[in-house]
Amino acid sequence: MQFLARRKHDVGHPTVMPPHARSASVQDTDAFFPGTVLSKAGHQVGPRAHVWALRLILGFGIFHLIYSSFVGLAGDEAYYWQWSRQLDWGYYDHPPMVAYLIALGTQLAGHNEFGVRFVMVLLSTTLLWLVYRMTVDFVALLPVAGSASRLHPATAGLWAIGSLTVTPLIGVGGFLATPDIPLVFFWTLAIALTLRAVRNPTHWNWVLVGVALGLGMISKYSMVILPAALFLVFTVSHHGRRLLKTPGPWIATGIAMLVCAPHFLWQLRHDFVSVFYQLGHGLGAPGNNGQRIVNPDTFGHFLVGQAGVVSPILFLLFIWVLLIAAILLVRWYERRSAHGVAAEMTLWLLLLPAALTLAVFAAASFFAKPQANWPVAAYPTLSVLLGVLLADWAGRRGVKKMLVWSATGFAALITVYAHVEAAFPVVSYDNSVFNKLQEKKGLANWLAAMRAESAEARSAAVLAENYRLASLLAFYLPDHPRTDAPFEQGSGAQYTIWRDPKTSGSQGMAWYLTRFENDNRVVSLFRDYRLAGVYVERRAGVAIGNTYAYFGRLKTMSESAR
């Protein structure tokens, strides 16, 4: 699909200069990277680069489909799998899309790691194809992207998806069953479809934009940044203001709202619990005076986190290309660029949503410690621009070429090591991110053996100190029992919505698993109990933690209230 194919009414437009009208050796001061050479060769797709891009995309997908079976579920993945067993229009932590996709995958491939992650890998693989096509079309639209003898649109496309796949954020996170994958996919798809609608503004194209925006909104709430960014693009750009006077953008808005309507009604029934939770999670709790405290240290954590999940050198290059594109847009805006409506709108749509995303989460990081994955949606469209930079610099000699290979090579080493360490532990890390992917099947088998000792033990409820452990036990225990996390608040509190208040805390036998040796909550949970056993969790042959299993009779509601 050519998202950036020329509109018929662009031909002969006074702001459009067709590629063949340009000299093959004339310097252009409005080049995407100043000093590059205008070239007709830039509009020829390099067959070898195109083939290698297809190999990379397919290889990414096939490898991660196989690899996903060798890595145990993270606690959050098991939690979202729990959602998929009780489908709804919304959940405490996030919108429902991740649950729908996991439910589809497990229906197709079974309740195993492969099934949970199956659809996610398909989406992340398709995301790479979208980024490749957007890059190829962008470079073909701009005959100013590199050396006349070396750069082709497909070369830039290859570098774009290459820079994306070597980052740990996508290269490792691209197979995990979390809301980030559908968010990034529908975000990028919505931008690609908007580019298509800008070039060919039929009602059907705007309907597709609305569907993509709506599906993104029920994937993760940070998707709300994209409609705001699109409205800003249409407001500040010359052609965008003309489009706002047509029905198209408003059709897309209506369709997006229609797709989100069931989730909105769910929020209404649950007092917008998810929205308030995420606002508190992202902005932190206010201080004693009701005002939020500004903390520059947490902004430092934001920068370090981005450098970690993207890799340090690539993160700096992402910021560099963002600044270059912003400067170029200012020049084009002032001059009504000879590159035309299509090139200007494309650059606006690639740049502004990504820049706004990074700005929003950078600002929020002054109030609460951020998570590194929050601005993930910014990077696919920025990788389109970065692909042009890397392709241009890789064709040169000296420091720039060395910088390109150093940046991508270092990121690739981090990503490869993360893959190896997650699936086949080599180093025993204490309190490491790798422990979140630690195999929990051994713990579940240990508990299953104790549950099998008697009918009472087998029928007893399974409780855990946190939502991740409760979800992992539900996934890995052979009978996939219903589990609960009775003390969970905040993230993971979907268990409080599922819990039936009429039966919660009623008298009965239960298992309770905790990581803490002296967990005071055991006394508040049981009338009488015993320590059934201690499971030692190991990584690379080294003990990294204990899990304590208690078995006993639960207190009644009246006893718990005393």
Q: Is the pLDDT of residue 243 over 90?
A: yes
Q: Name the band, by pLDDT with cuts 50, 70 and 90, for residue 538.
A: confident
Q: Name the band, by pLDDT with cuts 50, 70 and 90, for residue 425.
A: confident
CA distances 147 to 21, 39, 439, Å, are 18, 7, 50
Q: Name the band, by pLDDT with cuts 50, 70 and 90, for residue 16.
A: very low
Averaged pLDDT for residues 52-64: 96
Q: Is the pLDDT of residue 347 over 60?
A: yes
Averaged pLDDT for residues 240-253: 94
If one compares 476 and 281, the residue with the highest pLDDT of the two is: 476
If one compares 178 and 543, the residue with the highest pLDDT of the two is: 178
Q: Is the pLDDT of residue 428 over 80?
A: no
Q: What is the pLDDT of residue 20?
A: 36
Q: What is the pLDDT of residue 47?
A: 73
Percent of the chain predicted with pLDDT > 70: 83
- Give buried/exposed letters for 286-321 (b at 16+ CB in 10 A, else e): eeeeeeeeeeeebbebbeebbeebbbebbbebbeeb
Q: How far apart are CA 61 and CA 59, in angstroms?
A: 5
Q: Is the pLDDT of residue 397 over 90?
A: no
- Report residue 437 as tokens: 């992917």
Q: Looking up tokens 């939502």, which residue turns up? A: 467
Q: What is the pLDDT of residue 337?
A: 53
Write down the mean pLDDT value for the chain.
85
If one compares 512 and 40, the residue with the highest pLDDT of the two is: 512
Q: What is the pLDDT of residue 285?
A: 64
Q: What is the pLDDT of residue 38?
A: 33
- Give buried/exposed letters for 170-202 (b at 16+ CB in 10 A, else e): bbbbbbbbbbbbbbbbbbbbbbbbbbbbbbbbe
Q: What is the pLDDT of residue 488?
A: 85
Contacts of 449 (CB under 8 A, 6+ apart): none
Q: Name the band, by pLDDT with cuts 50, 70 and 90, for residue 375.
A: very high
Q: How far apart are CA 538 and CA 332, in angstroms?
A: 59
Q: Is the pLDDT of residue 358 over 90?
A: yes
Q: How far apart are CA 388 and CA 312, in angstroms?
A: 19
Averaged pLDDT for residues 488-506: 71
Q: How far apart are CA 141 and CA 158, in angstroms?
A: 17
Q: What is the pLDDT of residue 500?
A: 64
- Report residue 538 as tokens: 């190991």
Q: How far apart are CA 9 and CA 13, in angstroms?
A: 7
State how far Cα 241 lies from the chain centre.
31
Averaged pLDDT for residues 141-152: 54
Q: What is the pLDDT of residue 183?
A: 97
Averaged pLDDT for residues 245-269: 96
Q: What is the pLDDT of residue 443?
A: 93
Count the alpha carbons within 13 Å of 132 in the hemisphere toward its beta carbon: 24
If one compares 226 and 152, the residue with the highest pLDDT of the two is: 226
> Phi/psi at 42 (nearest 5 deg)?
-65, -10
Contacts of 468 (CB under 8 A, 6+ apart): 74, 75, 76, 78, 79, 492
CA distances 562 to 179, 307, 524, Å, are 40, 50, 10
- Lowest-confidence pick of 215-219, 260-264, 472-476, 495-499: 495-499
Q: Is the pLDDT of residue 149 over 50?
A: no
Contacts 24+ apart (CB under 8 A), 517-525: 517/546, 517/548, 519/465, 519/548, 521/465, 521/487, 522/550, 524/555, 524/560, 525/463, 525/486, 525/554, 525/555, 525/560
Q: Name the band, by pLDDT with cuts 50, 70 and 90, for residue 98.
A: very high
Q: Is the pLDDT of residue 224 over 60?
A: yes
Averaged pLDDT for residues 111-125: 96
Classify 545 in phi/psi space as left (phi over 0), alpha (psi -120 to 50) or beta. Answer: left
Q: Name the band, by pLDDT with cuts 50, 70 and 90, for residue 434.
A: low
If one compares 328 and 205, the residue with the highest pLDDT of the two is: 205
Q: Is the pLDDT of residue 9 over 50?
A: no
CB neighbourhood size of 341 (10 A) = 23
Contacts of 107 (CB under 8 A, 6+ apart): none
- Report residue 395 as tokens: 């064709």
If one compares 179 and 3, the residue with the highest pLDDT of the two is: 179
Q: Which residue type does 148 have?
A: A
Q: Is the pLDDT of residue 424 over 50?
A: yes
- Report residue 117 as tokens: 């992650």
Averaged pLDDT for residues 478-503: 82
- Closest CA relative to residue 350, chosen from 377, 375, 373, 369: 377
- Lowest-confidence pick of 44-53, 208-217, 251-260, 351-360: 44-53
**Are 118 and 107 spatial neighbours (Cβ–Cβ below 8 Å)?**
no
- Lowest-confidence pick of 40-44, 456-460, 521-525: 40-44
- Lowest-confidence pick of 42-56, 60-74, 84-98: 42-56
